Structure 1
Amino acid sequence: MATGRGWALRQLLRGHGPPAGAVGLRKGPGIRPTADPLRHHASCQGCCQDGAVSLDGMPSEVLLKIFSYLDDVNVLCCCCLPSSRRFYHGADYYFIWVRIYSTAFPPKRSTWNLKAEEKTAMPVTRLIMEEKAAGYWKREYIAKQVASVKAVVAQLLRPVNPYTGLPVKIKEALRISGLGWVIILRDKSGKEHVTEFVDLSINDTSVTVVWYGKNWPRLATLSTLDLCGVTPVFMDRYKPPFKDGPRWRSLISKYSLSDLTETTPMGCDGLIRVFCLSPGLLVGLWKREEELALVMANLHFHQLMERSTLGSATVPYELPPHSPFLDDAPEYGLHGYQLHVDLHSGGVFCLCGTFRNLFSRKGYIENGYVKFTVINFENNTQHVPLIGKVGLSWKTNVFEGCIKSCSIMDVTLLDDSGKPFWCFSSPVCMRPSTSPCDTCNFLGLRYCIDYVDSEGRLHVDLVWIKETEEYFVVSLALYLSVLKINRWFGTDY
């Protein structure tokens, strides 16, 4: 027999009364439980032939009795039901939210020599006597719960990893905030298809979120895809998140799907082709049908909580105005930078490296970019191997596979003060290199990885060593936008 909070509510919504012999639900403060508070009686006009009780025909006293046994999340869900006006007003009843508020936030003044029931009844009575506007205690309770969770999350995000410059306890912050992600597929007529994520993996500096299923809308009818973070409207940090409750939606990025099949795929295997949409989204299509197979979002930890919670359903979160940092020695160029690079797929890392004390001399500019040489080809002591095989693992309800030469790259660049300067997480592809290099050809087959966005470029040269069957990174260069540098430091570089 199903028991627990919200059981009576779910039974009533399904049109069922309580089971035979059911005793009153959980005892609420200040309320005397009855043997069967939901028993059918002759005065109820909403009774069905099989003896079930309908909500519209139920007396108000019985509805209030039911609500007194529910917790905060279930009562708030009842307030959001549009189907029954009586149900909404019953769940919004003044006394119910006074009881919930007083239980969660009792007065700090201690009272001696009183029983537990009396201690609870006293603050409730005191709050009832205070004249407040309708809905006041509900709003106060939600505001305090939200503020409590935000304070805990902000405290967890303060400690920073010295290697990455990112929060150390972000996994715990994600759990306490109840943060999740959805994609909204919007067709050309404006209809929305909201899809919850199926799989999630937390890496060292990023989160990989995957969606797949059997009931995707046809690709030809779709126009855009919205990636949104979702959080409960309010949470109790001591309870797990309630997935079916009201949630706040924060737009992270919007992508166009109209011309997806006309773009160049990033890679393919025997079943699917994958396309990369900036920033950080990978879309897989079945090769036979040209229909959606999966969607993968790669989210860097840098300002992840802000981007996933502080935007609205239609407008992404905007960064606050940047206050330029003072460059203590501009005549020497940029120095003291630190880079952290991860190359991974499916929780398996083939590269995880930290490079310190990077610098670029003053005036070393190429086509509007300042170059940092991270790994120098001429210095073989800096060359690093890739561990294992490079490939992007994927799976759906039925099939799974691996796309060779593709993977996820996470880059975190810190400035000389240890602040994140350039961060991204994106699918990348290893392609045969076309630039001339006789020495590289002598070593083995050459490949390269390239990434570019509005803030910078990254170029990696690799060599395949046939004897050991492994890739070696023989060159790695960063190109930072001069506009980004000038905006960061408030200078004219």
Structure 2
Amino acid sequence: MAAGRGEFFASFFEGLRRKQNPNCGLRAAGSRRWPEPTVKKYEADFLQMGTSQSEENSIEKLPSEVLLNILSHLDASSLCCVGLVAKLFHRLAADNVLWQKMYVSHFGSRTWRPKPAVADDEEEEEEEEEAQQHRAAGYWKKMYFRSLAGQEVKKWRREKRDVNPFTGLPDMTGRTLKNLNVSWELTLCREPGSKVTMEPSRADFFDSSVIVLFRGGPVVRYPEIRSLSLHGVRKGTARPGWRSLLFQLDVRSQPGRLSGDAGGVKLRSLQPGVSIGTWGEEDSVLFIMVSLHFHQLVERSLLGSPVCPYSEPAQLPYMDHSDPASGLHGYSLHLVLHNHAAKIMSRTFLQLRCHSVQDGLLELRVVDRKDLSQHRALSGSITLPWSSEGLDGCVENCCILSLTLLDEFQKPFWCVSSSVFVAAAVTPPSDDYAGEHFLLRFLQPEGRLRMELVRLTGPRQFMLIGLVLQLPVLKVNERFGREY
């Protein structure tokens, strides 16, 4: 601080001298002319004052009791800022007495342990003072912020109690993310070892997922990318540097599937839910689109660590001995086909049951292609619009799939949101419709999906004529405690 004042005063008196010099320009009319002796006298006094303050450091000479009394009038945020000024203030700003009083005033309890039913007040105060002396510096500061974070977690978990009967997901997930100022950052690791961090340019929320679009920044070629990672961040909090890892992909081992090529723009699909658009022969990255499912998204975006994703608590098997077919029926499926602009299809299918078990996979037949009453028309064409700086276009036969499968207890069993594309069927699966037939396949270790579509010749409208899900039997056995 003293050095800063010295530089300021030196600059100030240099300005006075220039004002006295007629060669430095015209002097403003009516301005006062400072005599040179006066300028030198003031300069000597001010510089001496700055030097004496720097050498004596009169603040540090104050007793610690006086400084602690001053700091006791600050709030938590100001106290943390004061702790960054000097070593003395860093030590005093972590004083247990200060933070204990702040903890009591905010949470209304002095300790975490319950008080005994009958105890003498004086003995209790002596025990508390003795325990206070043995606690390390900064103990109550950590307790304060830990309790503050826990209180906030309880608050947004209360907001997520209401469950949507169709999706089986918390109804306020999108609003909770917005209220908490949750955002995401994408980090690209390139060949030479350098990293590029991208912030989202837009985020589109739907009933069961959110699409986050990253674009702009330095030019990056797709072959240079070694890996990419997505972190959840929270803007404007007391932990500005905290990152919660959602996933990390090794691009070299997972080069991505080419979903489409539109006017020189290539779209590659990587799992989980990452689509990269590149341009030209050099494969310069135009945009990166990430689709995130709402299941545990708040927890994954806030409660993970910078290097380890959030792990959902292990769930014990249901062990329903009253129902010998538990795990084979009662499933519900909420399926959405969409892009970042509009929904293409949104359907909920109830009371799904297993039809067969083959090759370690349990099959759920959602839409039977032989039953015409189950066939459904799609409300739009299967396209994926994209836009970048100065460029925009549309990838045909590509969209976002958001799938939420609930078990018989209406708990999420398989949740995924990812880009998918449809391909022409080699042999038409149905003779009931005149038009082009397509297949949409999605494969994951958690499950498989096969969708049969037909684009009618006249109205050029897509029809859903077949839908089958396959679930690993091992996963079903773990959930329901069975041995299928």
Whether the TM-score (by the shorter chain) exceeds 0.5 is: yes
C-alpha contact (below 8 Å) 1:73/1:245 kept by paired residues? no
Asked if residue 353 in structure 1 is aligned to residue 359 in structure 2, the reply is no
Match for 2:50 among 16, 34, 44?
A: 44
Q: Secondary structure at the match of 1:479?
A: strand
C-alpha contact (below 8 Å) 2:429/2:452 kept by paired residues? no
C-alpha contact (below 8 Å) 2:455/2:462 kept by paired residues? yes
CA distance in 2, matches of 1:183, 1:435: 41
In structure 1, what is the equivalent of residue 226 of structure 2? 223
Cα shift readout 1:422-448 (whole Å, capped 9, x = no counterpart): 1111101021112343605x5210111
In structure 1, what is the equivalent of residue 178 of structure 2? 175
- Give the unaligned 5+ runs of structure 2: 10-45, 111-128
In structure 2, what is the equivalent of residue 114 of structure 1? none
Asked if residue 206 in structure 1 is aligned to residue 209 in structure 2, the reply is yes
Residue 469 of structure 1: CA displacement? Answer: 2.3
Residue 462 of structure 1: CA displacement? Answer: 0.8
Q: Give the counterpart letter for 1:380 in structure 2.
A: L
Q: Which moved more, 1:477-486 or 1:65-74?
A: 65-74
Q: Secondary structure at the match of 2:476?
A: helix
Cα shift readout 1:160-201 (whole Å, capped 9, x = no counterpart): 111111111223332344432212222345443332222112
Residue 213 of structure 1: CA displacement? Answer: 0.9
Shift in alpha-carbon separation, 1:71–1:190, aligned structure 2, 3 A: farther
Map 1:340-489 onto structure 2 (within 5 A): 340-361=334-355, 364-437=356-429, 439=431, 442-489=433-480
Equivalent residue pairs, number: 419
Shift in alpha-carbon separation, 1:46–1:189, aligned structure 2, 3 A: farther
Asked if residue 298 in structure 1 is aligned to residue 291 in structure 2, the reply is yes
Identical-residue share of aligned pairs (%): 31
CA distance in 1, matches of 2:203, 2:74: 32
Residue 456 of structure 1: CA displacement? Answer: 1.1
C-alpha contact (below 8 Å) 1:376/1:474 kept by paired residues? yes
Q: Give the counterpart letter for 1:195 in structure 2.
A: M
CA distance in 2, matches of 1:42, 1:98: 42
Shift in alpha-carbon separation, 1:59–1:420, aligned structure 2, 3 A: same
In structure 2, what is the equivalent of residue 115 of structure 1? none
Shift in alpha-carbon separation, 1:96–1:191, aligned structure 2, 3 A: farther
Residue 400 of structure 1: CA displacement? Answer: 2.4
In structure 2, what is the equivalent of residue 34 of structure 1? none
In structure 2, what is the equivalent of residue 25 of structure 1? none
Residue 329 of structure 1: CA displacement? Answer: 3.0
Q: Which moved more, 1:270-279 or 1:351-360?
A: 270-279
Superposition RMSD on alpha carbons, in Å? 3.8
Q: Secondary structure at the match of 1:488?
A: helix
In structure 1, what is the equivalent of residue 259 of structure 2? 266
Q: Give the counterpart letter for 1:43 in structure 2.
A: M
Residue 461 of structure 1: CA displacement? Answer: 0.7
Q: Give the counterpart letter for 2:146 in structure 1.
A: A
Q: Secondary structure at the match of 2:269?
A: strand
C-alpha contact (below 8 Å) 1:351/1:386 kept by paired residues? yes
In structure 1, what is the equivalent of residue 12 of structure 2? none
Shift in alpha-carbon separation, 1:409–1:191, aligned structure 2, 3 A: same
CA distance in 2, matches of 1:103, 1:477: 58
C-alpha contact (below 8 Å) 1:342/1:410 kept by paired residues? yes
Q: Secondary structure at the match of 1:198?
A: strand
Shift in alpha-carbon separation, 1:245–1:144, aligned structure 2, 3 A: closer
